[in-house]
C-alpha cells in the first residue's frame, strides 16, 4: 500500500469536533436556515413528548397550594390555567405540518406566561411563602433551553425579558427587603446563566454534528457519483459508447429473470445478433481508422432506433453487435430487425471489397426467449445460429430461429 493510501485510510471520518464555529455560532445564511429547520424538527419532537411534564408540574404546583393554603389556591388557579393554555398552544404549534415560524414564539410565550403569572401571584398573595413564586422564573428559563430546546438566540432574549420582569416585580410590587430581592434574583440569575451556558455548548455541538453530517452527505454523494461513472465505464464499450459484453450479460440476465414471470400476453424477449458483412476486408481495404469510424456509425444508427429504456445495444465482438428488445411481439421484433438492416444499407458507406454489395451491409439473426432458457449464453447461441444461416444464405438479410429450432429468412 502506498504512503498516500495509508494516509487516506488512517484519516478518521469527520465527527464535528474539528469544525470551528464563530463564538456567536452563526452560519452562512443558507446553512443557517437549513440548520434552523433541522433543530426545530428536534424541538417539535421534544415539545410534543414533554407537554405532559409541563402540565403535571403546573397542576402539581396547584395541588401543593391547596395543601398549604386553600385560600391561595382559589386565588392562583386562573394564573395556572393561563400557563396551561400557553403550553397547550406550544403543543399545538409543534404538531407536524404547522409553520416553523410559530414554534419558537409559542415556546417563548409559554415561558413568559409562566413567568408573569407567578410574578403576579407573588406580588398579590398575602402569604408568608409568596416569595417562592419568583422561583418559577428559573423554571420558565429551563423550559426553553433544557426541556423544549429552542435556539439559543430566542432563549437568550426571552430569558433577559423574564429576568427584567422579575426584578421589576420584586422592586415595585413586592414587600420584600432589599437583601431578599438580591438573594432571589441572584439565585434565579445564576440558574438561568448555567442553563443558557449549557444550552450554548449543546447547540455548538449540535451545529458541529450537523455540519459534519453535511460533509459526510457531500462525500457520500461524490462517492455515489464516482461509482456511477466507474460502473458506466466498466460496462461501456470505449469505441462505440454502447454496452460492452460484461454489461450486456448483466442486463440481459436480469431481463431473462423478469421474462420468466411474464405471461405471453405481456410480450417476449428478443435478441438480435448482427455483424457487418465482410468487415475484415473493409479494414484491409480502407484501414483500421476507417473501420473504427464504420463501427461508430453503425452503432449510432442502431442506437437512435431504440426507444424503450429496457432495450439496449451492445458490442458483442469485433464487428458483432447485439440488440435486446424487451416485452414486444414477434412481428415487431422482425420489423425492427429489417428496419435496422435497411437503415444501415441506406447509409451508403462505400465498401468496394464486399462480395454482396458495394456499400456496408449487415446480416441479422433473431432469436426469441423460450421456456427453459435461463442463461444469456443459451439465448445468444440461438441468435448466433440464425446469424450463421443469414451469412450462409448470402448475407445482407434477416433470419429468424423459431421455437422449434427452424431457421428461415424474412
The confidence score (pLDDT) of residue 301 equals: 96
**What is the structure's pLDDT at 366?**
96
- Alpha carbon 337 to its chain centroid, in Å, reads 41
**What is the torsion angle, in degrees rounded to the nearest 10, for the CA atoms of residue 3, residue 4, residue 5 and residue 10?**
90
Beta-bridge partners for 365: 273, 399
Q: Which of 397, 398, 401 is nearest to 379 (CA)?
A: 401
Torsion 97-100-105-110 (CA) sign: positive
What burial letters (b/e) apply to 257-292, b meaning 16+ CB within 10 Å? eebeeeeeeebbbbbbbbbbbbbeebbeebeeeebe
Which residue, chain included where needed, has cell 437583601?
179
Give 340's Cβ-side CA count (13 Å radius). 33
Compute how many other C-beta atoms are within 10 angstroms of the C-beta atom of residue 354.
20
**What angle, rounded to 10 degrees, do the helices at 178-234 and 152-172 form?**
170
Q: Name the pairing type of β-strands 398-401 and 362-368.
A: parallel
DSSP 3-state assignment of 320?
A: strand
Query: Where would I find the H helices in 143-244?
Result: 152-172, 178-234
What pLDDT is recorded for position 396?
95
Kindly give the residue spans of alpha helices, DSSP state H, lying in 19-69. 29-68
Residue 33 CA to residue 29 CA, distance in Å, equals 6
241 within 8 A of 321, measured Cβ to Cβ: no
What are residue 408's phi and psi, to 5 degrees? Answer: -160, 140
| 94 φ, ψ (degrees, to nearest 5) | -85, 0
Contact 187, 132 (CB under 8 A): no
CA distances (Å), origin 339, targets 35, 41, 102 = 57, 58, 64
Residues in the chain: 410
Which alpha helices (DSSP H) does 69-124 contain, by range? 70-93, 100-124
Phi/psi region, residue 244 (left: phi>0; alpha: psi -120 to 50; beta: rest), is: beta
pTM, 2 dp: 0.52
* pLDDT given for residue 332 in this prediction: 94
pLDDT at 8: 42
Can you give the residue ranges of every domain in the chain?
A: 9-218, 245-409
What stretches in the chain show pLDDT beneath 70?
1-19, 228-234, 404-406, 408-410
Q: Which CATH class is domain 245-409?
A: alpha beta
Query: Residue 405: CB partners within 8 Å, gap ≥ 6?
Result: none
C-alpha 390/C-alpha 361 separation (Å) is: 12
Amino acid at each position: 500500500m502506498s504512503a498516500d493510501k495509508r494516509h487516506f485510510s488512517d484519516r478518521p471520518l469527520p465527527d464535528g469536533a474539528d469544525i470551528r464555529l464563530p463564538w456567536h455560532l452563526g452560519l452562512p445564511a443558507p446553512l443557517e436556515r437549513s440548520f434552523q429547520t433541522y433543530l426545530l424538527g428536534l424541538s417539535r419532537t421534544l415539545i410534543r413528548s414533554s407537554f405532559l411534564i409541563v402540565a403535571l408540574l403546573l397542576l402539581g404546583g396547584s395541588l401543593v397550594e391547596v395543601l398549604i393554603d386553600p385560600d391561595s389556591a382559589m386565588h392562583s388557579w386562573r394564573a395556572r390555567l393561563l400557563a396551561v393554555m400557553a403550553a397547550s398552544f406550544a403543543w399545538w404549534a409543534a404538531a407536524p405540518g404547522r409553520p416553523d415560524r410559530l414554534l419558537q414564539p409559542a415556546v417563548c410565550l409559554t415561558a413568559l406566561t409562566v413567568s408573569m403569572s407567578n410574578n403576579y401571584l407573588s406580588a398579590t398573595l398575602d402569604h408568608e411563602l409568596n416569595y417562592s413564586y419568583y422561583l418559577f422564573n428559573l423554571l420558565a428559563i429551563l423550559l426553553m433551553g433544557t426541556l423544549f430546546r429552542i435556539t439559543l438566540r430566542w432563549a437568550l432574549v426571552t430569558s433577559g425579558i423574564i429576568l427584567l420582569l422579575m426584578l421589576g416585580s420584586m422592586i415595585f410590587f413586592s414587600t420584600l427587603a432589599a437583601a431578599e430581592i438580591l438573594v432571589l434574583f441572584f439565585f434565579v440569575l445564576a440558574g438561568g446563566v448555567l442553563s443558557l451556558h449549557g444550552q450554548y455548548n449543546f447547540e455548538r455541538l449540535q451545529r458541529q454534528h450537523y455540519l459534519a453530517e453535511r460533509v459526510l452527505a457531500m462525500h457520500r454523494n461524490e462517492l455515489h457519483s464516482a461509482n456511477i461513472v466507474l460502473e458506466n465505464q466498466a460496462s461501456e464499450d470505449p469505441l462505440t459508447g454502447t454496452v460492452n459484453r460484461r454489461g450486456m450479460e448483466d442486463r440481459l440476465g436480469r431481463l431473462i429473470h423478469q421474462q420468466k414471470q411474464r405471461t405471453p400476453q405481456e410480450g417476449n424477449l428478443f435478441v438480435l445478433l448482427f455483424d457487418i458483412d465482410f468487415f475484415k476486408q473493409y479494414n484491409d481495404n480502407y484501414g483500421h481508422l476507417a473501420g473504427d469510424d464504420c463501427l461508430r456509425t453503425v452503432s449510432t444508427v442502431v442506437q437512435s432506433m431504440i426507444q424503450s429504456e429496457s432495450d439496449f445495444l451492445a458490442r458483442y465482438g469485433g464487428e458483432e453487435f447485439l440488440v435486446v428488445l424487451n416485452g414486444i411481439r414477434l412481428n415487431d421484433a422482425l420489423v425492427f430487425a429489417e428496419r435496422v438492416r435497411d437503415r444501415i444499407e441506406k447509409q451508403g458507406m462505400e465498401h468496394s471489397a464486399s462480395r454482396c454489395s458495394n456499400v456496408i451491409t449487415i446480416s441479422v439473426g433473431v432469436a426469441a426467449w423460450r421456456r427453459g432458457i435461463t442463461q444469456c449464453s443459451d439465448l445468444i447461441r440461438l441468435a448466433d445460429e440464425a446469424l450463421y444461416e443469414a451469412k450462409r444464405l448470402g448475407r445482407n438479410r434477416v433470419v429468424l430461429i423459431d421455437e422449434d429450432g427452424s431457421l428461415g429468412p424474412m
